[in-house]
A and B are shown apart, each in its own frame.
Chain A
């Protein structure tokens, strides 16, 4: 097992190297430049050249890449161009915001989705099942950012129940934090439970058809026990993989939702970094996201056997 983990970890190194190379190249290809952005309509060529030199942007790209890579290897992601603060703590701090939204939503979606999915499977082809399937299909079709906007309009502006902008860290004031996080979490939960429900239903149906379930039923176990003991755990295994996928995708992909709700998360840090041409920030965000994605997948794979007795990690 340990050997397997080590092997998997080693395999991520070339991937991450390629990622960092790609990230660096991508970022430098973006037209525009942080220094001329700072000078606006009045920058003279000398001023811009001086500013670029101070940031080390006048060096050949390969030299810049090498210097950056060396620092990254020691855990130093450099400093932002806009305000000079260290990138890694910034990324981590913003990640907390994204993570709190994503983790809470995915956890809730998993709970709701797996439960409803198993129920739908159990009552397959009943009116309830059809209703659940129809509802999830519709929910899945609504773009999350549009849904977020509509919720914001209703609860923030029309009813005035919830704040329309801003954020308070949970550590600081849990109650306040909840008010700010309610809408984004609700939006995401709604959407993701749709995804999870469908997956859980499909896996549960597959499990329900297996012989040992029939066997369990024949043994005289109550339906509730069959569902709880046999169906739920087995239906959860593929769902677990899906949850991993959702997590990875969301952590990088909630930029749009963060824009809608003005949350200072990782996604917005990246988008703002792109607009400000803050190279170290963009590089840091992208590399961090990639790292996270790889790690989440690894963890999902490692835990998979725990949920599915039929598969072992080796």
Chain B
């Protein structure tokens, strides 16, 4: 992953990290569970339509003769108000959930990492100003800023994603700043500076690439959190619009008949929960493996 010189990586995983990660994912029951879930999510995101028993209904086609059927062999998760097979919609919905959260995390990184890297590398006034700005965005309670932005732009999945990224980047800025500060004192950065490489190049070619490991770890963990946040926005009507097979939206749609047709909301919500759980478990494993105390 290092570009250019062979540099030591700051905050980098200790030796044998890949090996120990594999071992944790395969032998720890919780790790194995999350590995299976994440692989399944990715597979569903890629070939969901082929896996779904009723692909057309997954996309939104209604079926008047099968309205609100309880779970059965024909419809494992039951059907919704429009007679659509809920299992199919959950499977097809994986793509949206994953794409949105990866997009949000990527966008947040794209904004946050350069800001943090510049702040940490330049120190002084630029650092102060950039970090004040970062703190301001963090001064909003989680999700509130995103909600206000969606409200300002109008509801919709793209606006929700943009709003989430705008309220998420400060975390990456902080993280990148931290690694940049410790990197800038390293000999290879000093060497680059002393042979006259412009600051811009140093930040882009050396600081950013070398900060990526801890940032990517954080990004993995965040994918779950963003699925939860996007689902929450969709639930209150600030995300995807019908008939999209969006998990949060599906929970909201089933809410009206939750008492008698519990399955309509329960299974899409379960999908959100299991997906978030899997990413959180992986995050926990990664944190454990990266914790220097435990490696001693």
Q: Do A and B come from one complex?
A: no
